[in-house]
Structure 1
Amino acid sequence: MTVPTRAEQAQGWRAPGQDAGWLNPIRERFLLRLLVRKELRVRYRGSMLGMLWSYVKPAVQFIVFYIALGVFLQLSKATPAYAVYLFSGIVVVNLFGEIFGNATRSISGNGALVAKIYLPSQLFPWSSMIVALVHFVPQLLVLVVGALLFGWLPSPTALVAFALGMMILVIFTMGLGMLTAALNAAFRDVENFVDLIVMVATWLSPVLYRISMVQEAIDGTIWWWLYQLNPLTIVVELFHVAFWRFSPEVVEAIPADPSLVLPGEPFGLWWAGLLIAVATFVIGTVVFERSKRRFAQEL
């Protein structure tokens, strides 16, 4: 096999096995699109509902949580527009869980491709992330419609909060996903731990309850600060600011219940969440880059 000359490399030729590292998803956009299409086709092969599953799962989650917590535990009485509050958090943890889980299994799940032909390994977790975003869009549309029914109107504050939340969530989760994808190629137990993390994250973020309830219970302790610095807590609160906090029912209830005002609002500790997300992404990318040459042997 001949090695490309310097002239050929200058014209865009690269030796086999060489790639652009973390820039692969940008440079290999065509391959990335092919992998996204492949994942979508495989996922819904033989399915009668297809993309409708993007609505079914969050709808069932919402109904179960709303009845159990909103009706039985009467959280809906203490929280104005509780349906919007609840669904704002559900869409966050669903997107977190799907990106995290899919990215973790992206290398082991594509073992035949990884072991037999050369493809930039970064494309697999990134394609999983894009598929998760495709499934997130229908849930977001339902959230927007629901918020509008409660009198919510788009505003610059809502758009900034949503953009910050999405940025932190995607960067943070992709960092975790790249890290666990590399580990899962060698140790299959990792994907089971990821499922546990997603389950715990649902309850350790203010999805089902108000953050003021946590503050009342552990304020003044280190646990309160750690809870606030949880990137998922920050993202869920940003989504609440975007879709719930400034709805008419909530604004009207604030004089009677000041606890509806979120800590550090409107955007809270977004800067801390972004810093943690970027640090996690860098660590995950470095570990992935150092591990990717062993994937074929480990699979």
Structure 2
Amino acid sequence: MIIKEIFTKKNRLLLKAMVSTDFKLRYQQSVLGYIWSVLKPLMLFAIMYVVFIRFLRFGADVPHFAVALLLGIIMWNFFNETTTGGMMSIVGHGDLLRKIYFQKHIVVIASSMSALINFGFNFIVVILFCMLNGVMPTASWLLIVPILIEEYLLALGIAFFLAAVYVNLRDLNPIWEVVMQAGFYGTPIIYPISMISSRAGEWGLLIAKLDLALNPMAQIVQDARHVMIAPENPTIWEWVKFPVSLWPVVFSFLVFLGGFHYFTVKSKHFAELV
């Protein structure tokens, strides 16, 4: 019933207006404008490439790891942007919440849609890099769609939860920044997950399997690299037995449902608190 109310004609028009406004304001008065949405991940990629691939030789045994690094960075940035932007979206639209009545979920969804548009621009760059490095499109590329849906639902569920908590706890922002920084290094983005097992023996293999099984973003990044870049990138489906291998996917959906429910309960009092 709530989902049906969210996507009424009135709310769809409001969602469209909010997404358009948010995306325009993001780079307002910036010299390069929307180009920054592509330049920022590329600049981070350039630094990571020089330090970790050229000097430290990470991923030397994995085909096209430079492209895999870029793909991992933009997928993590999308997750980071969706959760962080969603967390602050309700507080940032306090005036609007006090003036008109609408489903508060629209505010968080609009923030996530802006992040999704940003991701779309960056994903085009990844495709160009793939082709320049000899990674040509195949039928397996279509499998990126359910992987991205899983990531979007995971990020949106967390964004709903963070947005509801942030209304009462403004200290959540710096806490979440630390969590995201730790998550970035705990997820196989700047290094191939095979490096853990090869350098730490049996214990490393166990850690790698646990990371894939318990960290949904690790599973999402590895699956994306496997279907788009090279099959040498191991996936949870290869390393962990069924039905344990389903856990990251199930967990992502549970996070979405739990975050949506928590936000729905708390949203009744947002206008009084922001």
Please indicate, yes or no, whether the TM-score normalized by the shorter chain is above 0.5. Answer: yes
Partner of 1:179: 161
1:272 aligns to 2:257 (yes or no): no
Please give the residue correspondences for 1:245-260 in structure 2 after superposition, counting only pairs within 5 Å.
245-246=230-231, 260=232
Question: Counterpart in 1 of 2:174?
Answer: 192
Q: Do the aligned residues in 2 keep the contact of 1:212 with 1:262 (CA within 8 Å)?
A: yes
Aligned partners of 1:103 and 1:177 also within 8 Å: yes
In structure 2, which of residues 108, 112, 116 is the aligned counterpart of residue 129 of structure 1? 112
For residues 263 and 242 of structure 1, the distance between their equivalents in structure 2, rounded to whole angstroms, comes to 10
Q: Determine the C-alpha separation between the residues in 1 that align with 2:272 and 2:174.
A: 22
**Distance verdict in 2 for CA 1:94–1:226, change over 3 Å:** same
- Which residue number corresponds to residue 283 of structure 1? 258
RMSD: 2.1
Question: Residue 154 of structure 1 corresponds to which residue in structure 2?
Answer: 137
Contact 1:96/1:173 (<8 A) preserved? yes
Instruction: Report if the CA contact (8 A) 2:59-2:195 is conserved.
Output: no
The size of the alignment, in residue pairs, is: 265
Tell me the CA shift for residue 58 of structure 1: 0.6
1:42 equivalent to 2:25? Answer yes
1:228 alignment counterpart: 212
Matched, 1:54 2:37: yes
In the superposition, relative to structure 1, how do residues 205 and 182 fare at CA in structure 2: closer, same or farther (>3 Å)? Answer: same
Tell me: CA distance 1:98–1:187, structure 2 relative to 1, closer, same or farther (3 Å): same
Q: Is the 8 A contact 2:58 2:191 kept in 1?
A: yes
* Amino acid in the other structure paired with 2:174: N
How much has 1:148 moved relative to structure 2? 1.1
The separation in 2 between residues aligned to 1:148 and 1:73, in whole angstroms, is: 25
Instruction: Specify the SS of the correspondent of 1:187.
Output: coil
Give distance in 1, aligned partners of 2:196 and 2:59: 17
Which letter does structure 2 place at the counterpart of 1:122? H
CA contact (8 A) 2:222 2:235 kept: no
**Structure 1 letter corresponding to 2:221:** V
Q: Secondary structure of 1:75's match?
A: coil
Are the equivalent residues in 2 in contact too, given 1:24–1:123 (CA < 8 A)?
Answer: no
- How far the C-alpha of 1:125 sits from its partner, in A, is 0.5
Shift in Å, 1:34: 1.1
- % of aligned pairs identical? 24
Larger radius of gyration: 1
Q: Deviations over 1:236-285 (max 9, x none)?
A: 01110122115xxxxxxxxxxxxx45145579787332211110011101
TM-score by length of 1: 0.82
Q: Is the 8 A contact 1:21 1:122 kept in 2?
A: no
Aligned equivalents of 2:236, 2:154: Cα separation in 1: 21
The CA deviation string for residues 79-105 of structure 1, in whole angstroms up to 9 with x for no partner, is: 332211111111110100110111111
5+ residue gaps, structure 2: none
